[in-house]
Amino acid sequence: MAIIRTHGIRRFKVAALGAAALMASAAVAAAESVITWMYVEAQPNVIDVWRGIAEQFEKDHPGVKIEMKFLENQAFKAKIPTLLQSSEAPSMFYTWGGGVLKAQAQTGMLRDVTGALDADGGAWRNTINAAAVDALTFDDNVWAAPFRTGVVAFYYNKELFQKAGVDASTIKTWGNFTDAVKKLKAAGITPIAGGGGDKWPLHFYWSYLAMRQAGHQGFVDAKAGKGDGFASEPFVKAGEYLAELGKLEPFQNGYLGATWNDALAAFGDGRAAIILSFENTPGTQAVNSTSGKGLPVENIGRFPFPALDGAPGVVTDNFGGINGWTITKNAPPETEEFLKYFSSPDVQRKLARDAKILPVAKGASDAVSDPLLKVAAEAIANETWHQNFLDQDLGPNVGAVVNDMSVAIVSGQQSPADAAQQIQDAFSLENP
């Protein structure tokens, strides 16, 4: 929304023969477009990179100002629906895509970016990987400008693995993984850092297990409402595997009340050997650690979520987001121009190099130099299926149930069958 600031008004009295009249004239108001940018990123170095990009855009576009506003992840998810309905709505904000983005679009509070992407013969669209655009498209309209892709995997403390006699390269199946958990516990090491208080970090486990047990077609069928849907045998079985993990008591003390940042701190401090996390874990674990430095990168390893014996899912089926920026309906028109700049190949290379992201601009992946990020990039390049986060993909209401049930299963508060049925019941209500 353009903010108009009036710098001065000068009034003149004009006398006319036989009569007096008062006329007012005003100096032309100086107009300044303010783009408010709401984000959830917590790494200071990443925010510094973003700020530098914004400042360059401001320099190239006199009269445009970009105000960066931070909201912590959980607070963001809770507040954004209310903000969208208020005069405090940001011009652009972070999205994980999926059903949550679709629901937001249906409120009429967002501005689709299809026209901007396709302007000038598709000049903007043609610079971005098609899969990233497709992931943020509903009913032929693109509802967010993509800027990064990602994949969730296990990250581990090499030193603690060595101490426990665990060889990460041998973890190929879920049985191998639980054996590693048992070895770590036997060595007096907390195996896994968990953020049960935020709930969504534990939905990674149920989601991946469901992907491995059901396979891609099983997910397609469940979303299509075939058979028992998310209450069918593969999804119940996924919960059984998760319940078995919970019985091993693999997480740090107090994990059910721990936030995601607490989990990152536990891993970064060396108080837990494993975390199931995003591709930017080397950076986020350092920021959240007690020292602010965390584990040295050379002490961090990575391995994909393992397979389940006899199940159709494979390790090249990935779970992770394709993130973007949504634009609210009253945002200044320059917002699209800024996002076009933000996703341009040169800026994406800078983000890949300095902010450690997996870029969406064509050709920009050549700037990925971090060894662990390269492994993640290779995993995406060779993937057979990419599933978005279920708490986003299935929409806010179903997603909340998935998160709740994941915590309930692993903590022994809910049976896998009952949990799967609750997920299916929620899905059926949203998809009659």
Residue 66 domain-assigned (yes or no): yes
Residue 69 domain-assigned (yes or no): yes
User: Which residues in 116-163 belong to E strands, given as ranges?
Assistant: 137-138, 141-142, 145-149, 153-157
End-of-domain residue from the set 357, 372, 387: 387
Are 261 and 396 within one domain? Answer: yes
Are 255 and 168 within one domain? Answer: yes
Residue 302 domain-assigned (yes or no): yes
Are 382 and 244 within one domain? Answer: no
- Residue 205's closest CA among 169, 232, 179, 244? 244
Residue 49 domain-assigned (yes or no): yes
Q: Max CA-CA distance within the chain? A: 105
Are 314 and 188 within one domain? Answer: yes
Residue 224 domain-assigned (yes or no): yes
Are 263 and 348 within one domain? Answer: no
Residues comprising the chain, all counted: 432
Are 88 and 196 within one domain? Answer: no
User: Rounded to whole angstroms, how far apart are CA atoms 235 and 397?
Assistant: 19
Residue 180 is part of which domain span? 153-319+388-430
Handedness of CA 379, 393, 279, 265 (dihedral sign): negative
Are 136 and 216 within one domain? Answer: no
Are 161 and 239 within one domain? Answer: yes
Residue 355 domain-assigned (yes or no): yes
Grouping H, G, I as helix, E, B as strand and the rest as coil, residue 203 is helix
Are 125 and 215 within one domain? Answer: no
Are 312 and 417 within one domain? Answer: yes
User: Rounded to whole angstroms, how far apart are CA atoms 387 and 322?
Assistant: 10
Task: Please tell me the total count of domains within the chain.
Answer: 2
Entry pTM: 0.85
Are 304 and 332 within one domain? Answer: no
Are 217 and 94 within one domain? Answer: no
Residue 417 domain-assigned (yes or no): yes
User: Rounded to whole angstroms, how far apart are CA atoms 213 and 225?
Assistant: 18
Residue 27 domain-assigned (yes or no): no
From first to last of its 432 residues, the chain has per-residue pLDDT tens of: 333 333 333 333 333 333 333 333 222 234 489 999 999 998 999 999 999 999 999 999 999 999 999 999 889 999 999 999 999 999 999 999 998 999 999 999 999 999 999 999 999 999 999 989 999 999 899 999 999 999 999 999 999 999 999 999 999 999 999 999 999 999 999 999 999 999 999 999 999 999 999 999 999 999 999 999 999 999 999 999 999 999 999 999 999 999 999 999 999 999 999 999 999 999 999 999 999 999 999 999 999 999 999 999 999 999 999 899 999 999 999 999 999 999 999 999 999 999 999 999 999 989 998 999 999 999 998 999 999 999 999 999 999 999 999 999 999 999 999 999 999 999 999 998
CATH of residue 329's domain is 3.40.190.10
